[in-house]
Amino acid sequence: MSQTTAAQTTAAHTSAAHTSAAHTSAAQTSAAQTSARRTGAARTGAAEVSLYGGPAGRRVRVHHLRAAKERGERWPMLTAYDQYAAEIFDEAGVPVLLVGDSAANNVFGYESTLRVRVEELLPLVGAVVRATRRALVVADLPFGSYQGSPEQALATSVRFMQEAGAHAVKLEGGSRVLPQVAAIVGAGIPVMAHLGFTPQSEHGLGGYRVQGRADAGDELLRDAVALQEAGAFAVVLEMVPAEVAKRITGELAVPTIGIGAGVDCDAQVLVWQDMAGLRGGPLPRFVKRYADLRGVLRGAVDSFAEEVRTGTYPGPEHSYL
C-alpha cells in the first residue's frame, strides 16, 4: 500500500466523497480514511477491518473492493503471470492480481498485446490462481476473444472461470462493449472494465497516447458511468489526465484503478516487471521502479557463470559422497 501524507489523503478522497452519492459523508469517513491510508486498514470501533473483509485465508471478493472505496482505503494491484511472483504478491497482501494480456510483451516476447491468444493465457491464469490464497485473480480477455458478440464474450469468460479458476475477467472499451459486460455479469461473472488508453486498440488510437483530454474527458466519464450501470465492478483508467481520473473517481460508486491516471484513483496498478525493474529499456512516464531485479539477476548469473568457469562451483558442500 502506497504511503500518503495526511494532506494528500484529504485532497485525494475528500473531494470524491463530496461528489459521489455512494460515498458516506466526509465527516464520517475522514478519520477512518486517514488511519486507513497509513495502515492499509480501516478501524471501525474496536475491530480492524482489512481490505480482505474477514479472517486471513479468505479470498477478496468484489464487494470488499467497493467497501474499501466507501472507507476511502486505497489498494494496490499488480499483474502476475506465474507461480512465484503471484505467491509473493499474495503474501504481501496485494488484494487483486491481473493476469494481463500484457503477458504478450512480458512473458511471450510479442511486440504487442494484440498477438496473445486465449490458449496462451489460460495456463498462466491457472498458475496464478493455484499460487494464491487471498488475492482476487482477474483474467484479461485477449484481443479478438470478446469483441465479436456478447455470446463470444461470455463463452471466453466461462473458459477462464472454468478451465483456469479465475475469479473475474477484464475487457477493454467503453460504450461498444456494454452488451458484452451485461452478458458476462448476467452469468454471474464479475467484470473489470478498462478505459482511456486501451492497448488492444493501439492502432485505432494512433499509438500510445494520453486519452480523455479536453472534451474527450466527458465521453470517458459517460463511458465509465455506463460500464458501472452495465455491472462492471471496477474500471481501469489508463493514461488519462489526472483531473479527469479524479472526476470519474468521484462520480463512480465502484473503484477506479489508475495506471498513468494520477493519484486520485481508488487503486493503482502496474505491470510487475516494470515496478520491480526486471524489464530493460525506457519505461513509460507513469512507471516507478521500486527495485532493480534485472541488476540483481544479472549479478547472480555472472557469479554462477564465473564459478562454473573457474571450477569453484559446485563445492564439496554441493556434492554427494
Among 101, 223, 264, 266, binds ligand KIV (CB under 6 A): 101
- Pick between residue 50 and residue 156 the one whose CB is nearest to ligand KIV: 156
Among 76, 95, 100, 217, binds ligand KIV (CB under 6 A): 100
Peptide bond into 314 cis (omega under 30): yes
Report whether 213 contacts 239 (CB < 8 A).
Answer: no
Smallest distance, ligand KIV to C-beta of residue 97, A = 11
> Which of 33, 102, 228, 268 forms a contact with ligand KIV (CB under 6 A)?
102
Q: Which CA distances in Å does 173 have to 27, 84, 309?
A: 36, 31, 53
Cell of 81: 503471470
Identified binder of ligand KIV from the candidate list 1, 85, 269, 275, rule CB under 6 A: 269
Examine the residue annotation and report whether 87 is marked as an active-site residue of this protein.
no
CB 237, CB 229: distance < 8 Å:
no
- Candidates 73, 87, 172, 238; catalytic one: 238
Beta-sheet pairing, 75-79 with 47-50? unpaired
Q: Find all residues with CB under 8 Å of 248, minimum gap 6, and list them.
A: 220, 221, 224, 235, 237, 240, 256
Q: How far is CA 190 from the centre of its chain?
A: 14
| Candidate residues 4, 50, 79, 211; the one interacting with ligand KIV per rule CB under 6 A | 79
Asked whether position 271 contacts ligand KIV by CB under 6 A, the answer is: yes
CB of 283 to ligand KIV, least distance (A): 13
Q: Rounded to whole angstroms, what are the CA distances from 159 to 104, 242, 269? A: 19, 36, 25
Q: Is residue 9 within the footprint of ligand KIV (CB under 6 A)? A: no
Q: Which residues would be at the binding site for ligand KIV (CB under 6 A)?
A: 79, 98, 100-102, 140, 194, 236, 238, 259, 269, 271
Active site residues: 238
